[in-house]
Chain A
């Protein structure tokens, strides 16, 4: 992973990125392992170094609850930004689709670092806003596309 290209670290210098990453814990997730479940309290942000993570939501399929993938994230991308955004609960389930390495950054540690380095806090917060904003825009467009189909079905 090129740290300067990572979602969370855009705009940071190499030294600032290295300092921030040193605050995290590297964890390995084998294929199929759960990074976090839906609805759990979110204390951490996960920066994917390598591998791929599926973000899923439960849906009823043929009378059975199934996890359906709504997004995929891979190296350099961040998952679990609910760890930084109130109300700090995961609104998706994250599962490793491949062998995945991630740097897990705890909220309390990050916030403490941001207090000492507000310029880093500003840039990281801006990056998180960019990730969340993009998610919002994509899902807004997806929702509207489905609405259009509902209208076409109901009022052909």
Chain B
């Protein structure tokens, strides 16, 4: 019985010593990591331009890139192009009626809307 109790005490003591040793060993790493993270945040904040009343605000989420805007063609120009296209297509179709071949049906025009 005495031997059994001695073994139990020794086991408890061993576990306690191991736990203390482990805690001491890992606390340094956590502190070091936390210190590194803090220094990184400080660097990020320091790199931000100083703003009135907003010195310590978190960096804003990067704005999405501006949408690519296609330069809009004036509607008058577009309508003139459509009208020209229709005239050219009409003429091409008429020439097909005079000479109905596959080549004349698919002949190319100078319309800017098809190039």
Contact = CB atoms under 8 A, between A and B. Distances in A.
Interface in A105-150: 134, 137-139, 141-142, 144-146, 148-149
A142 B79 contact: no
A149 B83 CA distance: 18
Interface in A6-28: none
Nearest to B82: A68
B86 A141 contact: no
Interface of B: 72, 75, 78-79, 82-83, 86, 89-90, 92-94, 96-97, 105-106, 114
Given A62-B72, A70-B86, A141 B96 contact: yes
A70 B85 CA distance: 10
Given A61-B82, A68-B82, A137-B97, 8 more contacts: A61-B78, A62-B75, A68-B86, A70-B86, A139-B93, A141-B97, A142-B89, A145-B93
Contacts of A62: 72, 75, 78
Contact of B106 (A64, A139, A148): A148
Contact of A134 (B83, B86, B97): B97
A130 B96 CA distance: 17
Interface string A53-80: 0000001011010101111000000000
Contacts of A148: 106
B92 A64 contact: no
14 contacts: A59-B82, A61-B75, A62-B75, A62-B78, A66-B79, A68-B86, A71-B90, A134-B97, A137-B93, A138-B90, A138-B93, A138-B94, A141-B93, A145-B106
Contacts of B78: 61-62
Given A138-B94, A148-B106, A64 B75 contact: yes
A142 B114 contact: no
Contact of A68 (B83, B90, B93): B83
A71 B90 CA distance: 8
Contact of A138 (B79, B82, B97): B97
Contacts of B96: 141
Nearest to A64: B75
Contacts of A138: 90, 93-94, 97
Nearest to B74: A62
Interface string A65-103: 010111100000000000000000000000000000000
Contact of A145 (B82, B83, B89, B94): B89
Contact of B105 (A64, A70, A144): A144
Contacts of B75: 61-62, 64, 66
